[in-house]
Structure formats: structure tokens, C-alpha cells
């Protein structure tokens, strides 16, 4: 699909694709730029004319919450710190950093005559990270619903090496489930075989397990082979745009108004940060833009989910270097371990005596039984079979 499509200047944004959907954000007059996104629901969304974010001054907020403010005159950035955590902002830039990890804000910060202002939606997220997140005892959460993206006839993206995304997501999910179970974490998978599972069914399964969190595993693709890196998605705050929305609100009440997933906004964001913080560490030796940030999107498995939920994109199958990485069983094991570390970090304050994850900073790839449908060390997933089941490679 071409990355640029011409649309009539009606203000409509259309989502459509064969295997997923494409988000069209208006660029200029009558044109749209597409970003391939998997798992969005069908629909059309009208851009909201004249709707603007409501901003509040940062100084009174930080004073009330005990957050220290310091400004770096040389770089023009603002540093907010509390309890050993650091949040850095730059004026007119939607990309912030929290403890060294990129986070996409809903709106760019503003500075006027030495005073800083942040959108209300971003203030709520700032509070979740600097105030609530680090000190919150997540006593309600004790298990994980793992969602391997795609499956069955929904094959997902195709790697430039020839394999389908659905195979990689299931293999990574099974590895993650095994790691968590070994350390006392109850686990439920939305699928354990190469089968079709609708988005509504995935959400239904999540709703059957109160006290769990939901982690959906995917791999990315792009029209250009230059796309690279990892990113983690959580639901945008009610009324705020998705990261790829160009900063504009989408005035469809079923999409931008409060929805089921917004009841867990602070936990959605904190879970996304903890997982992304660990996944980013896998790219210490990678070149290019490895940390694509914690982002926001209204994927159905996030929007309609009653559990704290995130969606992890573990690399680009359209990028030859990253496709080879994802095809490696050692990388998929490391990715599963990183996600497990993030989940355990999210749970850690709940139960300090919980058995910790030893040796998770080493890639431990162990041969699996045939029934587990994962791959033994040294095997790849490059050669799809035509038997209708999972390809176990060569």
C-alpha cells in the first residue's frame, strides 16, 4: 500500500487494510499519510475542528505533588524529579523521557515568559509516573493474560525473510508464559495454537480474569525498510489523540470519549513503562532508532479491555536486520525475558517476598518438547510449511 493516499477534503479519516488497518492522518489539504497499524476496529472518524487541549501551569502542580523542577538553560529542557525518578520535557516537543526511556505526550509542552504549561491529559500521566507509579502497591494484580497477536487466517505482517508474524508472536508468548509460570505467576494465553481468535474474544478472555494484566505481543512492519526499533502502546487518556494522530483530536464519541480501558489509565501507563524500559535494554548494541517510545493507540484489545493492558511491538519485520533478529530463537527468548522483567517490576511493590527472576539478564534458550510448539536453540522460523499448522523451521 502506498504511504500517501489522496482523499477528498471532507475531514474524514479512513481505516482499511487487508490484514489490519491503516491510520490516515491529514497532511496538508486533501492528502493523508498512512501508518500501518494492526488490530484497529473498522470505522470512520471525523477530525474535530477547533478542539484544543486545555493547558495548566506546571509549577503549582509540582509544588502540590512534591516534584522538584529544574531548567537546563543550555538545552531548553525542563527536568522534573521525585524519589529518584526523572522526567524531562522540551518545549514544543511531544517526545519526553522518563528515566531515560522515550514517552510520547498527547500534546507538546508550552513555555511562556519562563512559565511551563502542560496539557491536562499529560498532567494526569505525569502524576501516574512520578507520583502514583513508583509508590503504588499494585495489590490487585497477580496474573497475566498473554495475547499472541494474529493467528490462523489472520497471518499478520510478512517478514522480508518470508515468515509470518503470527508464528513469531506465538513462539514469544509461549516462552513468556513458561518464564512467568516458573516464578509463580498465573498465566492465561488467548491462543496456544495457530488458530483464529477475534479481537472481541481476546477482550472477553481478559474480562474472565480479574486481578490479571494483559500483554499483547506483536512485531512491526512499514512501507519502508528503514523503519526500526521497538515500541510499547497503551490507551490514550479520554479525549486525547493517539500518537499517530498528528496531535489532532478525533471527534467520534465511541473512540475519544471515556471507554472501558480508561478506568486503568495510571496502571496502563506504568505497566507500559516498566515493560518498555526492559525491552529497550535489548538494543544496547543496535544502531538506529531502537527506542521508539511508549506510545498511545486505541487498538481494540486496549480500548475495550477491563484489565491494565499494553501492546508490545518487538521489532520491524520489514527491516532486514531486525527480521533476522526476530527470526533468531535467542532474541525471542531475550524479548520474553525482558517482558517478564517488566511485568515483575510492575508487580514488585505488591509482594516484596515474591520469588524473583534469577538469571533473566542472560539468554537462556533451552530445547522444548515438541508439544510446546516453541523452537529449540539454533532453529529458525524462516521456512513456512503448507500444512496449516505452526512451522517449526528447518
| Bridge partners of residue 151, in order along the sequence | 154
With CA atoms as reference, report the closest residue to 199 among 164, 149, 155: 149
| pTM: predicted TM-score of the whole model, two decimal places | 0.78
Q: What is the CATH number of domain 143-372?
A: 3.40.630.40
pLDDT tens per residue across all 394 residues of the chain: 333 333 333 333 334 333 344 443 333 222 233 344 444 433 333 344 345 689 999 999 999 999 999 998 888 899 999 989 999 999 999 999 999 999 999 999 999 988 999 999 999 899 888 887 654 544 578 999 999 999 999 999 999 999 999 999 999 999 999 999 998 999 999 999 999 999 999 999 999 999 999 999 999 999 888 889 999 999 999 888 898 755 555 544 456 678 899 999 999 999 999 999 999 999 876 656 899 999 999 999 999 999 999 999 999 999 999 999 999 999 999 999 999 999 999 998 544 434 444 444 333 333 334 333 334 333 445 544 333 333 323 2
CA distance 225 to 157: 13
Q: Indicate the CATH number of 55-135 among 3.40.190.10, 3.40.50.300, 3.30.457.10, 2.30.42.10.
A: 3.30.457.10
Catalytic residue IDs? 313
CA distance 270 to 95: 17
> Rg of the chain's alpha carbons, rounded to an integer?
21
Q: Copy the grid coordinates of residue 10.
A: 471532507
Q: Where are the domains of the chain?
A: 4-46, 55-135, 143-372
pLDDT of residue 255: 60
DSSP 131: I
pLDDT of residue 35: 40
With CA atoms as reference, report the closest residue to 309 among 219, 190, 193: 190
pLDDT of residue 139: 56
Q: 164 by DSSP, 3-state: which?
A: strand
CA distance 217 to 253: 28
Q: Copy the grid coordinates of residue 273.
A: 513503562
User: Looking at the chain, how many residues does it have?
Assistant: 394
Amino acid at each position: 500500500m502506498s504511504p500517501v493516499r489522496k482523499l477528498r477534503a471532507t475531514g474524514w479519516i479512513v481505516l482499511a487494510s487487508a490484514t489490519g488497518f491503516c491510520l490516515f492522518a491529514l497532511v496538508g489539504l486533501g492528502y493523508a499519510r498512512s501508518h500501518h497499524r494492526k488490530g484497529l476496529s473498522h470505522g470512520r472518524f471525523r477530525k474535530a475542528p477547533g478542539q484544543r487541549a486545555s493547558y495548566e501551569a506546571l509549577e503549582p502542580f509540582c509544588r502540590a505533588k512534591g516534584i522538584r523542577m529544574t531548567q537546563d538553560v543550555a538545552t531548553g529542557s525542563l527536568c522534573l524529579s521525585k524519589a529518584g525518578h526523572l522526567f524531562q520535557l522540551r518545549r514544543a516537543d511531544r517526545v519526553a523521557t522518563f528515566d531515560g526511556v522515550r514517552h510520547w505526550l498527547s500534546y507538546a509542552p508550552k513555555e511562556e515568559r519562563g512559565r511551563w504549561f502542560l496539557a491536562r491529559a499529560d498532567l494526569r500521566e505525569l502524576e501516574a509516573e512520578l507520583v502514583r507509579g513508583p509508590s503504588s502497591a499494585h495489590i490487585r494484580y497477580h496474573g497475566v493474560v498473554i495475547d499472541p497477536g494474529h493467528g490462523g487466517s489472520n497471518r499478520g505482517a510478512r517478514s522480508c525473510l518470508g515468515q509470518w508474524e503470527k508464528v513469531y508472536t506465538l513462539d514469544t508468548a509461549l516462552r513468556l508464559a513458561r518464564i512467568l509460570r516458573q516464578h509463580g505467576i498465573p498465566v492465561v494465553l488467548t491462543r496456544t495454537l495457530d488458530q483464529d481468535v477475534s479481537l472481541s474474544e481476546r477482550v472477553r478472555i481478559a474480562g474472565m480474569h480479574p486481578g490479571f494484566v494483559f500483554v499483547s505481543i506483536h512485531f512491526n512492519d512499514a512501507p519502508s525498510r528503514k523503519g526500526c526499533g521497538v515500541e510499547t502502546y497503551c490507551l490514550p487518556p479520554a479525549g486525547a489523540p493517539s500518537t499517530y494522530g498528528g496531535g489532532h483530536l478525533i471527534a467520534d464519541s465511541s473512540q475519544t470519549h471515556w471507554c472501558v480501558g480508561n478506568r486503568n489509565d495510571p496502571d496502563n501507563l506504568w505497566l507500559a513503562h516498566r515493560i518498555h524500559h526492559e525491552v529497550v535494554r535489548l538494543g544496547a548494541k543496535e544502531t538506529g532508532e531502537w527506542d521508539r517510545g511508549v506510545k498511545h493507540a486505541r487498538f481494540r484489545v486496549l480500548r475495550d479491555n477491563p484489565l491494565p493492558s499494553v501492546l508490545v511491538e518487538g521489532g520491524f519485520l520489514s527491516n532486514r536486520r531486525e527480521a533476522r533478529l526476530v527470526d533468531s530463537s535467542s532474541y525471542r527468548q531475550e524479548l520474553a525475558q525482558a517482558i517478564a522483567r517488566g511485568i515483575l517490576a510492575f508487580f514488585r511493590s505488591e509482594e516484596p517476598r515474591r520469588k524473583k527472576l534469577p538469571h533473566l539478564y542472560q539468554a537462556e534458550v533451552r530445547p522444548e518438547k515438541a508439544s510446546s510448539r516453541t523452537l529449540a536453540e539454533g532453529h529458525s522460523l524462516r521456512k513456512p510449511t503448507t500444512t496449516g499448522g505452526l512451522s517449526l523451521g528447518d
